[in-house]
A and B are shown apart, each in its own frame.
Chain A
């Protein structure tokens, strides 16, 4: 068995096929490393820029708690150093929330980078492994059995004392090594380039993540090698094996994500934007209708008694609006997560979604961002309430008084900037400490698919007629 594996490997390594493939994979990993270190730098700059702007604006508004709590800051997603693994379409997703002590608006997309540049695809590891490497695995394995038969060597091998079992494992290990070696080399190269470009801190958590990614990727590649071998042991001509294997590849890599979208959209429909807008309007109208006419927004001392009512109305209005916004976002996240789950039927989809989860991108990154933005808003709100309660001049009507900022709803005392909760601090404290569940189940699932494929391939080989 070892002999066959060694023979297969050395034959594989000497093959022109292998050299082409290895070169292609290495080029892909180098492109990946350079482009993602560029994106990371861009994102880091954009993040610190937005932090600088926020600092300056908070400073300008720190003259009064009222202005400070009403200033809507842009809360930007911090750069993810692991986006090179699977970027989850990060250049198409909204990454900025507008947040003040009261308001939580729908997210938007920062205008960073070049919007005229076509976003063709992501050149992340998930693409390199899930699309390129799986294709290459099929290319190396489709002729493993029937190719030997066609050239007449299969009979020779089987008539010697080599059992089919050792032929199978020898072939499998040799092919696996021939594909995994370029992958490991390329991955290492990519990590080294990212590290030297200051785009990847090699902390323990990162190394652990990379370990998981390598395991998942190798399992994914192995599935396709076993698939290629299974097909190869079922047909008699390599040309047919190639076509069958390629169709399988197309089904798994191209079709499944497409269908997943269809299924997710049917199973978990979301409301259209205008419906959400209408709902917000209705919610506001309902609140306004409940209020007596006295809750006026006319400034002036003669209306002083109506202000508590007005503050209450404003707060109710905000709560109603935010409920709709948060609900609609939960709905969208639910749909996108469902889509991710549906792609689990394909090994590459599984790989892609676990890589996104590991690197905190895609819908997972969006969800984390939204939760943190909500938490940050709560912090700001609590801070406002606490500060306001210490000011005897304030009427303690904590509400987004909007255009009535000249009234005494909230304290107008200056605030020391160092006390104000800051977004980057929250992210440092809690954002990195989010429990990152290791994709244990995904690993088990991949192993099971591997076993299943191996059994199919082995049985097919047992039944194969070498003549």
Chain B
């Protein structure tokens, strides 16, 4: 009997106008979105490749460790085509600075930042708005519509239990929703393969499969909600309004309101604290270094350039002057650790702020728990590797990278006994011997006089290679589908669907079919 009901329901759905409309609309929307965002992804990926290439080249041209400011970044995820997420405005690259602990990233992949203000037209937006509306449109009159037509009485008179009838209707509805959904997804994957030539790895295929599943559960949830409303209200027009209001609340109102309420409930500490601390500590460090070293400057020049900023001056400042050379080494040995310590202190101060921001964001998530759209968003962005946690992890890895990088520099003794190697690649003996210097200087002069344009002192060919392994490898696991983070919202959506189904069935079992 179940089978008969089920196939009858499916046949009826397929014949309706709304199914045709849903099919065509979904297909057109999904295809268009994938087309646009596929193009966008390719542009971003190409930008990323060029930028990464340039950064690697710049790094290879560095000839002394003091000029080394490695850039860490991660490529855009091809799955971002389906859910744009947050990596656009949070950025994906960090310049590692010895004097600053990274707190945020910058985005250099977007060509026009002004377009970031336009809401993204991705699959996530289509699912959360359109699939849910169609779920409701298919189901709002599934029970009371049949009552209005008088067919419900006939079905219920038969031997089938009401639970079976309800289940058959639900199962048929979900299958019917799945149809436009699957067709457009397959179409979009074909577009990506044929037009854009974007391929996916096995893990990414798994993520795509899960995305389809989440979208289906989400559609099923709204279908169940529509059925629930339909079994609660006598008239189909009432159940339509009821379910659309549920939709507006769960899709539009709650997710937005939650972030606003969270920022009202959990106040952030005043960011001035950080900036003030930054400025004050910088000034203090500067003064400490000046006081300590200026008196030792051999030529008596008290201009603090090159001391406070520890700017590495052009080597000719030391030409023929080993005393200056030693002096500068002393400045570095004293100053660099101070600046690095200051960076840690600034980070400790801003960490409080960082934690408060994370607390606020978590409160917002908690408040959005009743909204299905929030769970869909969390699941899809986690699966596409574009959610907030990815960015947080990335900056965390950048911090770890920076510590590792500094540790290697310390291990090499670049701020200690080998400090010369920090700003010079010359053998120490030559640097400190007057004749060596004189020869070097003469060479430099001769080259300049012969009209050689390039600054011979900043020519890597003359300086040899950096100590190998000074820049550690950047390890970042994120940017890939995060199945663990997606599991909770998927479960929540599943539970909500079962609950809505159960409540609907309960309401239907007491429904007056006359």
Residues of A within 8 A of B (CB): 16-17, 20-21, 24, 27-28, 31, 34-35, 38, 49, 53, 88-90, 92-94, 109, 111-121, 123, 131-132, 135, 139, 143, 147, 238-240, 242-244, 246-247, 250, 254-255, 257-262, 264-265, 270-274, 293, 298, 332-333, 335-336, 339, 362-363, 366, 403, 405-406
Contact = CB atoms under 8 A, between A and B. Distances in A.
B115 A238 contact: no
Interface string B120-137: 010001100110010001
A117 B253 contact: no
A264 B113 CA distance: 14
| Nearest 8 interchain pairs by C-beta | A89-B117, A258-B121, A35-B260, A336-B114, A116-B361, A243-B18, A114-B357, A92-B116
A298 to B, nearest CB: 8
B191 interface: no
A115 B117 contact: no
Contacts of A143: 237
B249 A24 contact: yes
A336 B112 contact: yes
B3 interface: no
A405 B311 CA distance: 14
A234 to B, nearest CB: 13
Given A240-B17, A262-B36, A115 B357 contact: yes
Given A53-B275, A255-B29, A336-B115, A123 B305 contact: no
Given A38-B260, A119-B89, A265-B115, 7 more contacts: A24-B253, A31-B253, A115-B357, A117-B360, A247-B25, A298-B316, A336-B112
Contacts of A273: 47, 51, 108-109, 111
B259 to A, nearest CB: 5
B115 A38 contact: no
Contacts of B264: 34, 38
B117 A117 contact: no
Contact of A362 (B117, B119, B257, B364): B117
B241 A16 contact: yes
B46 to A, nearest CB: 8
Contact of A238 (B18, B90, B125, B237): B237
B54 interface: yes
Contacts of A262: 32, 35-36
B244 interface: yes
B119 A257 contact: yes
A258 to B, nearest CB: 3
A175 to B, nearest CB: 15
A226 B115 CA distance: 32
B256 interface: yes
A20 B233 CA distance: 15
B21 A16 contact: no
A27 B256 CA distance: 12
Contacts of B263: 35, 38, 113-114, 117
B497 interface: no
Contact of A114 (B116, B119, B133, B268): B268
A246 B256 contact: no
B472 interface: no
B358 interface: yes
A271 B33 CA distance: 23
Contact of B54 (A112, A244, A274, A406): A274
Interface in B228-244: 236-238, 240-242, 244
Contacts of B114: 93, 332-333, 335-336, 363, 366
Nearest to A366: B114
A118 B268 CA distance: 16
Given A16-B238, A247-B21, A258-B36, A118 B361 contact: yes
Given A114-B357, A120-B259, A333-B114, A242 B129 contact: no
A366 B109 CA distance: 20
B121 A257 contact: yes
A217 to B, nearest CB: 18
A34 B50 contact: no
A118 B130 contact: no
A31 B256 contact: yes
Contact of B305 (A139, A366, A403): A403
A151 to B, nearest CB: 10
Contacts of A119: 86, 89, 259
B271 interface: yes
Given A132-B252, A139-B244, A121 B113 contact: no
B458 interface: no
B51 to A, nearest CB: 6
Contacts of A259: 32
Interface residues of B, number: 78
B255 interface: yes
Contacts of B17: 239-240, 243
A111 B104 contact: yes
B245 interface: yes
A38 B25 CA distance: 38
Nearest to A332: B112
Nearest to B388: A116
Interface in B354-396: 357-358, 360-361, 364, 377, 388, 392
Contact of B141 (A239, A363, A366): A239
B184 to A, nearest CB: 14
A258 B117 contact: no
A116 B396 CA distance: 14
Contacts of A92: 89, 113, 116-117
28 contacts: A16-B241, A38-B260, A92-B116, A92-B117, A111-B104, A114-B360, A116-B357, A116-B392, A117-B263, A118-B259, A120-B256, A123-B256, A143-B237, A243-B137, A247-B21, A247-B25, A254-B121, A255-B121, A257-B121, A258-B36, A270-B112, A271-B111, A273-B109, A274-B47, A293-B451, A335-B112, A335-B114, A405-B305
Given A117-B259, A118-B259, A250-B25, A24 B47 contact: no
Contacts of B50: 272, 274
B242 to A, nearest CB: 8
A362 to B, nearest CB: 6
Interface in B242-297: 242, 244-245, 248-249, 252-253, 255-257, 259-260, 262-264, 268, 271-272, 275
B118 A255 contact: no
Contacts of A38: 260, 263-264
A246 B137 contact: yes
B43 interface: yes
Contacts of B117: 88-90, 92-93, 336, 362-363
Interface in B305-329: 305, 311, 316
A21 B249 CA distance: 11
Given A120-B256, A143-B237, A272 B43 contact: yes
Contacts of B257: 31, 123
A282 B321 CA distance: 37
A97 to B, nearest CB: 13
Max chain A C-beta neighbours (<10 A), residue from B47, B86, B248: B248
Contacts of A109: 89
Contacts of A250: 25, 29, 129-130, 133
A113 B129 CA distance: 28
A403 B317 CA distance: 14
B382 to A, nearest CB: 12
Max chain B C-beta neighbours (<10 A), residue from A28, A271, A298: A28
Contact of A261 (B115, B241, B377): B115
B256 A89 contact: no
Contacts of B90: 115
A339 B141 contact: no
B241 A17 contact: yes
Contact of B240 (A123, A242, A254, A258): A242
A339 B118 contact: yes
B96 to A, nearest CB: 18
Given A34-B260, A114-B360, A117-B360, A243 B47 contact: no
Nearest to B24: A247
Interface string B9-38: 000000001100100010001001101100
